[in-house]
Amino acid sequence: MRNVSLSGFLLLSLLALIPAACTAQSDQTGSQSPNSTGTSEVAVRSVRETDWPRFRGPEGNGHSASTGLPVEWSDGGSETKNVVWKTKLPGGGSSSAVVWDDHIYVTSYTGYLVPGEDRGNLSDLTRHLVCLDRESGTILWDKEVAARQPEEENIRDHGFAANTVASDENGVCVFFGKSGVYAFSHDGEQQWQHDVGSGTHGWGTAASPVFYEDLVFVNASVESESLIALDRKTGDERWRAGGIKESWNTPVVVATPSGDEELVIAVHGKVLGFNPTSGEQLWSCDTDITWYMVPSIVSDAGIVYVLGGRSGVAGLAVKTGGRGDVTSTHRLWTSQKGSNVTSPVFQEGYLYWMHENIGIAYCAEAKTGELVYEERMNRSGQVYASSILANGRVYYLTRSGRTFVVAAKPEFELIATNDLEEGGQFNASPSVSGNRLLIRSDRFLYCLGE
């Protein structure tokens, strides 16, 4: 059976364990030779083990080198276990938590279509960048940004704050759709703002900003059908590529087999590779997927793995480094097993993910796409969060707050099932900070630890 999978850069474990005293980030340069554990080809920026600086972690692949993460927890009112703290957030939101030093950053929105509240008025829609203390969960500051009108009136499902922020030693970068891209200092002072388009969509906007050298990459498919690079310090536009249609995934930088770096993104019908410095499109590959593209691409050893769609072909593997139309030369396999929402993780030649609707956890061989197992998880419900991997375990979070902890090996083993019963709806992907797990709902941010 041909199977689909996204492969992930595996976090370089040695660099991820750099002491907490190291606060400066180094440039992403060079490449690493792949090994049996899926070591990332792109050099890892020097970050503390407690840092989780962007969507899906330091390399955007859902991997953490941390150990000691909790396996069991619960929150059912008076019955709690391994809940270090729990903080009520202003309004709703689906963005994941980002950690830099002793700060945690999330976004939320108030004033209109907030879950559990009256409908409100579109004119009152306000987005928030919220900064919390990592140890206590106390909200340190809350920066409000009024929505640029007119906004989408009938947004579906995930709300108006689904884009996860990016952070580095200079501050925080946040993408608020048609209201623009903002940079703030770690003290909450606005540094710059840049508009990337005025389009809106019923599914909202969700792609997250990505730092690369002195650039910020923004997938503005919803806003202007563009992939845009901004200057990290000033917010000025450095380059723009068009034709980015029906794309909700966060772009990734991968290393080719020759060691060059490429910026890769999935759009309707194609996977595209760009020169990250100039914005020149280098190659394209047909996907044969007939739907919009939501899951983020991940890679290993110069191969990108792409999921998407609800029927027919649902994923593929493409070797990077080509030029022009590489469909016949670099597309390695296609599959009819995948997910339309969730992104997978890669571990030692295997891909792990969970389907967003049917509650099945998958493992596939990355080399061929062949399915190794598919296990239906009882009472799982929908899954929108992307999986994470830490200490040999995969964590799958459902929209109801149930988390399945599964062994990261090609034989299915369910280690634990955990519930956060009173948290509301959980659309955000989990984050890791040292030996703690951060899980965000549309009401609360939970810090879990043993």
Predicted confidence (pLDDT) at residue 356 exceeds the cutoff of 90? yes
pTM score of the predicted model: 0.89
The strands making up 74-76's β-sheet, listed across from edge to edge, are 63-64, 388-390, 393-397, 402-407, 414-420, 74-76, 79-81
**Distance (Å) of CA 275 to CA 45, 229, 300:** 20, 11, 18
Query: CA 385 → CA 64, 96, 264, 300, 400, distances in Å?
Result: 16, 9, 21, 21, 11
Written as one letter, the residue type at 234 is: T
What is the identity of the amino acid at 212?
A: Y
Provide the mean pLDDT of the chain: 90
- Examine the pLDDT at 408 and tell me if it is beyond 60: yes
Position 158 scores a pLDDT of 86
- Please give the Cα distance from 419 to 259 (Å, whole number): 43
First-to-last alpha carbon distance for the chain, in angstroms, is: 40
In the structure, what pLDDT confidence band is assigned to residue 78 with cuts at 50, 70 and 90?
confident
CA–CA dist 376, 362 (Å, integer) = 9
Q: DSSP states of 392-417 as a string?
A: TEEEEE-TTSEEEEEESSSS--EEEE
Q: Is the pLDDT of residue 20 over 80?
A: no
**How far does Cα 22 stand from its chain's mean position?**
25
Radius of gyration of the chain (CA): 20
Sheet holding 171-175, edge to edge: 166-168, 171-175, 181-184, 190-194
- What is the pLDDT, as a whole number, of residue 312? 95
Domains, in order of start, for the chain: 13-448 (2.130.10.10)
Cα 239 to Cα 277: distance, rounded to the nearest angstrom: 9
Give the per-residue pLDDT at 46: 56
- Spatial separation of the C-alpha atoms in residues 77 and 421, rounded to whole Å: 8
